[in-house]
Chains A and B, each alone.
Chain A
Amino acid sequence: MTPGSEATAAAAAIAGEARPSARVDEGRSLRIAFAVMVAFFLLAPLAIYPIFLMKVMCFGLFACAFNLLLGYGGLLSFGHAMFLGIAGYVAAYLAKEGVALEALHIGAVTLPVGISLPPFTPELAILSGSLAAGVLGVLVGLIAIRRQGIYFAMITLALAQMVYFFCIQAPFTGGEDGIQAVPRGKLFGLIDLSNITAMYATVFVIFVSGFLLIYRIIHSPFGQVLKAIRENEPRAISLGYDADRYKLLAFVLSATLAGLAGATSAIVFQLAALNAVHWTMSGEVVLMTLVGGLGTVFGPVVGAFAVLGMENYLAQLGAWVTIVQGAIFVICVLTFRRGIVGELSRWLRKPL
């Protein structure tokens, strides 16, 4: 491979561009892969510990949301943990405590609010959590999209660190203890989620809907414009697209979906804690996406499975978890830039 072609291949890898092929064929291979994935998650609980699978689905969705931004928008956010974490906190808090706001103090001004709501049902808690992540996404996005590339990564990282410090100090997060003993509650007030099968089914539905939504976004006109901006921003602007608005929208969508994953996992694991906001978590989601295949549809899910499985397996070895993670990072960047699914799709000559 000549240096030039490697560069193009790499650009394609980071971009996740599928080679032009017949549309029909593309649709078919993706449909088969999707069916395999759905079947896997339906049958796997028979053989694999279901709580682990739920974790894989939550983080798979998180990685897919991240991939939407990096793989299709070309924006490397190194602070995505803040959306996962904040949504988790909001969902956990609402599901456990509800809202009891007597009055709002803004400086010396006191606004009588008098809102008092009982603990939220899980679906409302999850929804509110995702919404909170979306709002945070707007704020962070407005600041971060002013720079591209490496600067974008550093800015998101710095802002995420700020959110981390906020979460340590804010009273409602419970500091280092986190929010514990979050009730799973009853879905729509009817289905008791402390039943493991019901919980699994709920997570499965959320995961599949989130996944399909992301797929839809990528293949919509919006997604095409996003790819155009990634490839050549000045050109897209000269064609009349408001690049900043597209990027902001992509950022907010990705943040909201990351929030959906975070809120769901808070309900599943019945806790929200600091490590979900820490920068190591942001690094982990980058790793999942990289291992699975940047800019591939299924890569992030495969990556989440691989990375979490490894962590589970190595849990007894302490510091080695970090070392092995770091080493995988290095290997992936140096020799395996397409990731598992990227290589597979190249070998099959089908987009996945």
Chain B
Amino acid sequence: MKVLSKLCVAVALACGAAAAHAQYSDNVIKIGVLNDQSGTYADLAGPGSTVAARMAVEDFGAAKKGMKVEIVVADHQNKPEVGSSIARQWFDVDKVDVIVDVPTSSVMLAVNQIAKEKNKVLLDSTGGSSDLTGKACTPNSIHWTYDTWALANGTGSAVVKTGGNTWFFLTADYAFGHALEKDTEAVVLKNGGKVVGKVRHPFPSSDFSSFLLQAQSSKAKIIGLANAGADTISAIKQGAEFGIVKGGQQFAGLLVFITDVHALGLDKAQGLLLTESFYWDLNPQTRSFSQRFAKLHKGAMPTMAQAGVYSSVLHYLKAVEALKSDADGAKVVAKMKELPTDDPIFGKGSIRQDGRKLHPMYLFEVKKPAESKGAWDYYKLRSTIPANEAFRPEKDGGCPLVKS
């Protein structure tokens, strides 16, 4: 991995040197991929995001256009203090112009502050908290792929509309879980659904049997999982054991990635409802992108987070090209908001004043093992949530950049 990235840097440098004429800060556009390379989020972002960023630089044709683009990578270990010191050092010492990816809300919000302070750019693909386009919004950041509000909204409304009108929540007992539960509950109620019960489980938990029994006896049609990662996986795995799905109830995951489904196996995950903004098998463009990606990344299909990194880097380079400069972070972001987005991942889209990238979200249902035609064939599309309904209305976020 490291060798590859060094090679890439070397190639980019060599090509760039041939035609160095633009006025980029110290002649190089430096992109920092800051994420979790080894921990909980390594599979859904991690090295795959680096691959995606590199593909974007290549597809943009930076070398041909005489732009020198370099990619650096670091592991923030999901620790905000590690993440923020790397970000500071990158901006101060290594002259990084833009940081992309950044999973884990705490690290994302920390880097967000630093990017603003140093007038650089943060394009966040994997972080969840919708605060980034709310009270923590800055003129230097864009929230790219999804946010917790969009997930809660997508799953909540679409599920109720397709008949899942009674809900039981299994909520991780901390701020993130509470927010997810609150947002979803509001949407469920608004669409005429009913919440028949909820239980707060400690975070992290390994054993969900007790909570599953409570969910089972509630007789709710839908069990909403307001948690993430290993907690969600354990809950679904043990749900299969206790015959939840066989008994006629269905799980709705509020933050599930395709790699989680991959880890669970279709046998356990079948029937799970979830919202994502990207699936490799949506259309010819996503398929061709994903197959190219898989070849470079041990055969694994891209997650929406990794696809989002590709999309964000591509659009960033377009804006820098249009501006002919990468020096002023806020100006670049303003340019990005001005230009319409268009890429194989999300199709055509736009970026709102508060830094929210807009595109459709999709409600998927995980296939039964018999329906799957092979590896990574996991989802069937249940409904599409159009871009203008998918995200929190700009006025509700409380972002100071939005003038009403």
Q: Which residues of B contact A274 (CB under 8 A)?
A: 106
The answer, among B85, B173, B176, for a CB contact under 8 Å with A51, is B85
- Give B46's nearest chain A residue, CB to CB: A318
Q: Is A165 an interface residue (CB 8 A)?
A: yes
The reply to whether B85 and A55 form a contact with Cβ atoms under 8 Å apart is yes
Q: Which residues of chain A (26-77) have a CB below 8 Å from chain B?
A: 49, 51-52, 55
The reply to whether B77 and A321 form a contact with Cβ atoms under 8 Å apart is yes
Q: Which residues of B contact A175 (CB under 8 A)?
A: 174-176
The reply to whether A177 and B75 form a contact with Cβ atoms under 8 Å apart is no
Binds A, one of B51-59, B86-94, B285-293, B351-359: B86-94
- Give A273's nearest chain B residue, CB to CB: B80
Cα A276 to Cα B203 with chains together (Å):
17
Minimal beta-carbon separation of B112 from chain A (angstroms): 8
Which range holds the interface residue count of chain A?
20 to 34
- Give B177's nearest chain A residue, CB to CB: A175
The reply to whether B82 and A178 form a contact with Cβ atoms under 8 Å apart is no
Query: Which of B78, B92, B93, B174 has the most A CB atoms < 10 Å from its CB?
Result: B174
Q: Is B196 an interface residue (CB 8 A)?
A: no
Q: Is A168 an interface residue (CB 8 A)?
A: yes
Q: Which residues of B contact A178 (CB under 8 A)?
A: 80, 106, 109-110
The reply to whether B175 and A174 form a contact with Cβ atoms under 8 Å apart is yes
The reply to whether B175 and A275 form a contact with Cβ atoms under 8 Å apart is no
The answer, among B93, B113, B174, for a CB contact under 8 Å with A270, is B113
Q: Is A190 an interface residue (CB 8 A)?
A: no
Cα A119 to Cα B5 with chains together (Å):
45
Minimal beta-carbon separation of B174 from chain A (angstroms): 4
The reply to whether B203 and A273 form a contact with Cβ atoms under 8 Å apart is no
The reply to whether B37 and A318 form a contact with Cβ atoms under 8 Å apart is yes
The reply to whether B85 and A180 form a contact with Cβ atoms under 8 Å apart is no
Q: A51-B89, A273-B106, A275-B79 are in contact. Are A176 and B74 (CB under 8 A)?
A: no
Q: Which residues of A contact B74 (CB under 8 A)?
A: 315-316
Size of interface on B: residues with Cβ below 8 Å to A: 36
Q: A52-B85, A315-B86 are in contact. Are A180 and B136 (CB under 8 A)?
A: yes
The reply to whether A319 and B80 form a contact with Cβ atoms under 8 Å apart is no
Minimal beta-carbon separation of A163 from chain B (angstroms): 14
Q: A180-B110, A181-B109, A274-B106 are in contact. Are A169 and B173 (CB under 8 A)?
A: yes
Q: Is A269 an interface residue (CB 8 A)?
A: yes
Query: Which of A174, A274, A311, A315 has the most B CB atoms < 10 Å from its CB?
Result: A315
Cα A318 to Cα B43 with chains together (Å):
13
The reply to whether A318 and B93 form a contact with Cβ atoms under 8 Å apart is no
Minimal beta-carbon separation of A7 from chain B (angstroms): 38
Render A247-290 as a binary contact track against B, CB cut-off 8 A, 1 for contact.
00000000000000000010001110111100000000000000
The answer, among B84, B113, B136, B202, for a CB contact under 8 Å with A165, is B202
> CB within 8 Å of B: which residues of A?
49, 51-52, 55, 165, 168-169, 171, 174-178, 180-181, 265, 269-271, 273-276, 311-312, 315-322
Further contacts, 6 of them, CB under 8 A, given A49-B89, A51-B88, A168-B174? A168-B203, A175-B175, A176-B176, A181-B109, A265-B81, A271-B110
